[in-house]
A and B are shown apart, each in its own frame.
Chain A
């Protein structure tokens, strides 16, 4: 049924961008939890969580290389159960992506366009993403191909700028208060690993679905490296306290960088990279959401769904959170981690159990089929 294909490389780019954009945006390892100067350790912990998540989602995905998660969950759990799980996933896509585009709009609103209505910023971003989603996953994949160079270049340029004002004293003492604060800061980024649910819908679109997991892991490792480096740079430049209270720490850091008398204000790079990232993010989520929904209600083509979904998306991103304080609260480890885990991990565990039971059942059947011959 799927005719459009993306290369595994493009999948890796997409996943890398999705994950790193969160880093550029709010750097949750530093702004949630209490790890302060040890946040880079939390970053490593959250990387482990992401890798596990990929094994969980991707591992099941490659068992059904032709099907999306919506399809095989129906096969595994029956019609009702499968549809329910599919709905849960779709809700999660919607919620996370709506929040993400909201944060981007808030940044533009706070820093650059402080009189532009949020809805304008959000809807222009969603419109762009919707166009990409209508044109299909191939287009999104190629866009990722085209943007990744700028994305990585801007990231590296900003990080290089941090070398001069970097002060290692800010990173000490290491692990002074034990592991507990470190873990508390790792929870929200680990919860955000739920973004990799898109793997469940992207794997059937790959040219080599069985290698998808390996590419996803590679992307996660690279984005993990970016996360660790960024965290170290932000703490080294801004100090743990200011970094912790900044709304957009990476952006604040680049604002504080003065490379020389003539070369300063490199924060534009960060915002551009962030914009690219949000675009890819929303486009992929919108595609995945529409694709999933179309399979759920058995519509042959997902494209007609995108228009209405985009509208719902815009409304949700404006109305889920009253203001930025509530967005911040949404990402608090105490509430976000359990939410994310129950929405992502529980359904997947259910799917895995169903899958393993079925396989065990099949093997049992084979065994039973064989047994009568044994006496011969």
Chain B
């Protein structure tokens, strides 16, 4: 019974296999020559409250030569990327409108960065997030930030060490958060979760544009003629954009953002400078390890928050006036540890008071309360959390240890 069918299908399979040799390819094929890859998407609002999408496309016909950015003579040299923008009533329409000025089909699956202008961030970023979640090509594992300054200028500028500004911004975001911890976690998915979690507000990284023209942030940059000296950095990543709901309400500076990272256990590494016990010098301490825990406590009607922080630091340098040599005995280390803890506490308190000023619970204290006392949260606190947060008493219990002295113990003395 099985035989005749088996033989038939064997023949059929053979025919189909043969067919696959001749019909390889797609019926609606799109040649790679027809496509261009988007690397970065940025959204802005124009004067009429239309969404303006700016895209950075990798230039497919760019020929990677030995030198780049050198001469710039003649029309032969093409930039490795191209930036342009289009407007629309919704983010999707704006993105779609990009195509009528692009000679190639735009593919979004390699987008690495999503940027927002300050104006759009103040008006609300959720529509763009919604578009990103819904779209089949865009992904949520990309980096995102709010641009403080002129978006277009940032995208036109050149990052000295990178081919493409998008790579530059991507690396800037990742490496700064690894090395300095002065920006919050900037993964898009993480931001969406923060937004949807009860009792927590969003906090995005802040990308500050450093103006090249008038050199306001570069000291005497104005005197030098452009082209003569190598360009300065086009952007700096420091601090954070604090949101309430989907709207930006204010900025955090680097210290405040680090405080936020301490509290939320998202800190990677960073450096803290403390004064020496005798007030005759400074010590640089690198943060190696940290752990924090938000513990809500309830006494009657009142909610109190305790943040337990454990930090491990490594001594990196000692700056002392000539002739003074501190002895690194246990008392000295103990005193440094106390100052280290104090510096952490100061970071946290600054972040807290600024957040209370902005009425934005970016630490997720509300979420911690919700997780521990869900009933209380749903029945009472959820509705009036904003005001509760502004008056919230938070205690920081910091336990800071100093570990390695480095390669030397007490610095060698002279004479």
Residues in chain A within 8 A of chain B (CB atoms): 3-4, 110-111, 114-115, 131, 134-136, 165, 167, 169-170, 172-173, 176-177, 237-239, 241-242, 245, 255-258, 264, 301, 303
Which residues of the partner chain A approach B161 to less than 8 Å between Cβ atoms? none
CB distance from A369 to the nearest CB of B (A): 44
CB distance from A4 to the nearest CB of B (A): 8
Which are the 7 A-B pairs with shortest beta-carbon distances? A176-B374, A241-B196, A239-B193, A172-B371, A173-B374, A258-B141, A173-B371
CB distance from B4 to the nearest CB of A (A): 10
Apart from A255-B139, A255-B141, what are 13 other A-B pairs with CB-CB below 8 Å? A4-B2, A135-B5, A135-B9, A165-B189, A167-B193, A173-B374, A176-B374, A176-B378, A177-B374, A239-B193, A241-B197, A242-B133, A303-B5
Query: With A135-B5, A177-B374, A303-B5 known to touch, is A255 a contact of B193 (CB < 8 Å)?
Result: no
* Cα distance, A336 to B119, chains bound together (Å): 47
* Cα distance, A311 to B387, chains bound together (Å): 63
Pairwise interchain contact B140-A256, C-beta atoms closer than 8 A: yes
Query: With A135-B9, A173-B370 known to touch, is A256 a contact of B189 (CB < 8 Å)?
Result: yes
Contact with A along B1-44 (1 / 0, CB 8 A): 11001100100000000000000000010000000000000000
Contact with A along B351-384 (1 / 0, CB 8 A): 0000000000000000100111011001000000
Which residues of the partner chain B approach A239 to less than 8 Å between Cβ atoms? 192-193, 196-197
Is there a chain A Cβ closer than 8 Å to B213's Cβ? no
CB distance from B25 to the nearest CB of A (A): 15
Which residues of the partner chain A approach B374 to less than 8 Å between Cβ atoms? 173, 176-177
Query: With A172-B371, A256-B139, A257-B141 known to touch, is A242 a contact of B2 (CB < 8 Å)?
Result: no
Which residues of the partner chain B approach A115 to less than 8 Å between Cβ atoms? 28
Pairwise interchain contact A242-B375, C-beta atoms closer than 8 A: no
* Cα distance, A21 to B6, chains bound together (Å): 28
Query: With A134-B5, A135-B6, A177-B374 known to touch, is A170 a contact of B140 (CB < 8 Å)?
Result: no
Query: Which chain A residue lies CB-closest to B196?
Result: A241
Is there a chain A Cβ closer than 8 Å to B136's Cβ? yes
Query: With A135-B6, A173-B370, A173-B372 known to touch, is A256 a contact of B196 (CB < 8 Å)?
Result: no
Interface residues of B, dominant DSSP:
helix
Which residues of the partner chain A approach B2 to less than 8 Å between Cβ atoms? 4, 135-136
Pairwise interchain contact A169-B139, C-beta atoms closer than 8 A: no
Which residues of the partner chain A approach B375 to less than 8 Å between Cβ atoms? 176
Mind listing 26 A-B residue pairs with CB under 8 Å?
A3-B1, A114-B136, A115-B28, A131-B9, A135-B2, A135-B5, A135-B6, A135-B9, A170-B197, A172-B371, A173-B371, A173-B372, A176-B370, A176-B378, A177-B374, A237-B189, A238-B193, A239-B192, A239-B196, A239-B197, A241-B193, A241-B197, A242-B193, A255-B141, A257-B141, A303-B5
* Cα distance, A255 to B133, chains bound together (Å): 11
Pairwise interchain contact A256-B141, C-beta atoms closer than 8 A: yes
CB distance from B227 to the nearest CB of A (A): 35
Candidate in B1, B6, B189, B375 with the most chain A CB atoms within 10 angstroms: B189
Q: How large is the interface on B (under 10, 10 to 19, 20 to 34, 35 or more residues)?
A: 20 to 34
Query: With A115-B28, A134-B5, A301-B1 known to touch, is A169 a contact of B371 (CB < 8 Å)?
Result: yes
Which residues of the partner chain B approach A111 to less than 8 Å between Cβ atoms? 136
Which residues of the partner chain A approach B197 to less than 8 Å between Cβ atoms? 170, 239, 241
Contact with A along B137-178 (1 / 0, CB 8 A): 001110000000000000000000000000000000000000
Pairwise interchain contact A264-B141, C-beta atoms closer than 8 A: yes
Query: Which chain B residue lies CB-closest to A109?
Result: B136
* Cα distance, A242 to B375, chains bound together (Å): 23
* Cα distance, A241 to B195, chains bound together (Å): 10
Which residues of the partner chain A approach B189 to less than 8 Å between Cβ atoms? 165, 237-238, 242, 256
Which residues of the partner chain B approach A242 to less than 8 Å between Cβ atoms? 133, 189, 192-193, 196
Which residues of the partner chain B approach A3 to less than 8 Å between Cβ atoms? 1
Query: With A173-B370, A239-B197 known to touch, is A255 a contact of B5 (CB < 8 Å)?
Result: no
Query: Which chain B residue lies CB-closest to A240?
Result: B196
Which residues of the partner chain A approach B5 to less than 8 Å between Cβ atoms? 134-135, 303
CB distance from B295 to the nearest CB of A (A): 13
Which residues of the partner chain B approach A4 to less than 8 Å between Cβ atoms? 2
Which residues of the partner chain A approach B28 to less than 8 Å between Cβ atoms? 115
Which residues of the partner chain B approach A257 to less than 8 Å between Cβ atoms? 141
CB distance from B235 to the nearest CB of A (A): 22
* Cα distance, A110 to B133, chains bound together (Å): 13
Pairwise interchain contact A169-B141, C-beta atoms closer than 8 A: no
* Cα distance, A242 to B136, chains bound together (Å): 15
Which residues of the partner chain B approach A255 to less than 8 Å between Cβ atoms? 139-141
* Cα distance, A239 to B188, chains bound together (Å): 13
Considering only residues 177-213 of chain B, those with a C-beta below 8 Å from chain A are 189, 192-193, 196-197
* Cα distance, A255 to B142, chains bound together (Å): 11
Which residues of the partner chain A approach B6 to less than 8 Å between Cβ atoms? 135
CB distance from A109 to the nearest CB of B (A): 10
* Cα distance, A245 to B370, chains bound together (Å): 21
Which residues of the partner chain A approach B193 to less than 8 Å between Cβ atoms? 167, 170, 238-239, 241-242
* Cα distance, A168 to B2, chains bound together (Å): 53
* Cα distance, A131 to B372, chains bound together (Å): 56
Considering only residues 305-363 of chain B, those with a C-beta below 8 Å from chain A are none
CB distance from A120 to the nearest CB of B (A): 11
Which residues of the partner chain B approach A177 to less than 8 Å between Cβ atoms? 374, 378
Query: Which chain B residue lies CB-closest to A177?
Result: B374
* Cα distance, A239 to B28, chains bound together (Å): 38
Which residues of the partner chain B approach A169 to less than 8 Å between Cβ atoms? 367, 371
* Cα distance, A239 to B106, chains bound together (Å): 31
Query: Which chain B residue lies CB-closest to A257?
Result: B141
Which residues of the partner chain B approach A135 to less than 8 Å between Cβ atoms? 2, 5-6, 9
Pairwise interchain contact A110-B136, C-beta atoms closer than 8 A: yes
Which residues of the partner chain A approach B196 to less than 8 Å between Cβ atoms? 239, 241-242
* Cα distance, A256 to B378, chains bound together (Å): 30
* Cα distance, A303 to B2, chains bound together (Å): 10
Which residues of the partner chain A approach B9 to less than 8 Å between Cβ atoms? 131, 134-135
CB distance from A241 to the nearest CB of B (A): 4
Which residues of the partner chain B approach A264 to less than 8 Å between Cβ atoms? 141
* Cα distance, A115 to B374, chains bound together (Å): 46
CB distance from B314 to the nearest CB of A (A): 26
Which residues of the partner chain A approach B378 to less than 8 Å between Cβ atoms? 176-177
* Cα distance, A301 to B2, chains bound together (Å): 11
* Cα distance, A247 to B28, chains bound together (Å): 27
Considering only residues 208-255 of chain B, those with a C-beta below 8 Å from chain A are none
Query: Which chain A residue lies CB-closest to B13?
Result: A131
Which residues of the partner chain B approach A167 to less than 8 Å between Cβ atoms? 193
